[in-house]
Chains A and B, each alone.
Chain A
Amino acid sequence: QKEVEQDPGPLSVPEGAIVSLNCTYSNSAFQYFMWYRQYSRKGPELLMYTYSSGNKEDGRFTAQVDKSSKYISLFIRDSQPSDSATYLCAITNAGKSTFGDGTTLTVKP
């Protein structure tokens, strides 16, 4: 079993929809929780970063962490075609990040 499991998708939604992306993890020692966006053949771009349970909001993006359930989510409000990409969750302990395999999102105009 992988240390970080991500809902595989792919996900296709109409423009304006609310998107929910989810990951679970198994190692309680994980300290930092991140979401990255990756366009085809590009490096991952850091979207959200948090280290505590609860919600963190940045514009249309909300990252949610539930350490008791070992569950993290990323919500995208008012999704746009430009949000179409692969989203990766990443969880870090002692410098090393473990990534999910990504969820590919398509937002249709």
Chain B
Amino acid sequence: DTGVSQDPRHKITKRGQNVTFRCDPISEHNRLYWYRQTLGQGPEFLTYFQNEAQLEKSRLLSDRFSAERPKGSFSTLEIQRTEQGDSAMYLCASSLAGDGEQYFGPGTRLTVT
């Protein structure tokens, strides 16, 4: 069990650029979640997948954000036309369906300059 992995760990980009993050969940987990965390706050839910189906999206996920999980394994989160307010830690977690235990990856820290 290698745990949840995320890539890259850090990303610095200029305002207006597009960025894409990748998450590899624990292999037997069929649910995958994306959260965003800013300094001093708890993680905020963005979206989650069961297998390849995206089951829920937060209102935080504006039309500049898109997430995919094409084969029910890894997932990508893309942010288009980044803004300074997008600077945050983007966290991925995975779990078995119906199981409340979500296991988090190390996160991708995004800085938009």
Q: Are B91 and A99 in contact (CB under 8 A)?
A: no
Task: Please report the C-alpha to C-alpha distance between residue A94 and residue B55 in the assembled complex, in whole angstroms.
Answer: 10
Q: Are B42 and A43 in contact (CB under 8 A)?
A: no
Q: Are A98 and B45 in contact (CB under 8 A)?
A: yes
Residues of B within 8 A of A100 (CB): 42
**Chain A interface mostly:** strand
**Chain B interface mostly:** strand
Task: Give the number of residues in B that approach A within 8 Å (Cβ atoms).
Answer: 26
Q: Are A95 and B101 in contact (CB under 8 A)?
A: no
* CB<8 Å pairs between A and B, sample of 22: A32-B100, A32-B101, A43-B104, A43-B106, A44-B91, A46-B101, A46-B103, A51-B100, A90-B42, A92-B100, A92-B102, A94-B56, A95-B33, A95-B48, A95-B50, A96-B45, A96-B56, A99-B42, A99-B43, A100-B42, A102-B40, A102-B41
